[in-house]
Amino acid sequence: MSGARSSPLRGRSSVGWSANVGRREGPRRSCRTVDGGGCSREGDELAVAALILAPATRTFGAWAAAALISGYLVSHLDAVRHARPGHPSVLLRPWGVSARLTVNLAYIGWAVVVALAAT
């Protein structure tokens, strides 16, 4: 016996998604990664939206929205590394990645404006 144990994560990333945008590798078991990080789930966005809709929690909700959207910037910055002209996906071409970054930065700015206006 070699003493090595079989890992259920062998052959796939820790969250069940490949580095290729949008391609599944296998069944998605959890949103948590091995190192304790995580990813957003639909409930997070809905909770932040509910906080923004209620006037009493709008400031907190807007700051939460800015933080939530900022978390997605990692994937958009990673796309900058992989962007290439002529890629089959328009969003992974250099101008597509630039558009993604610009729109997300605008969303963050909008959330900050809402947070400041609500105070």
Q: What is the pLDDT of residues 14-55, one digit of tens each?
A: 444 445 555 555 444 444 433 344 555 678 899 999 999 999
Asked whether the whole model's pTM tops 0.95, one would answer: no
Q: Around Cβ 25, how many Cβ atoms within 10 Å?
A: 14
Could you report the per-residue pLDDT of 57-112, keeping only the tens digit for each?
999 999 999 999 999 899 999 999 999 999 999 999 999 999 999 999 999 999 99
Q: Helices in 2-119 by DSSP H: which ranges?
A: 42-53, 58-82, 94-118
Residue 78 is given by DSSP the state: H
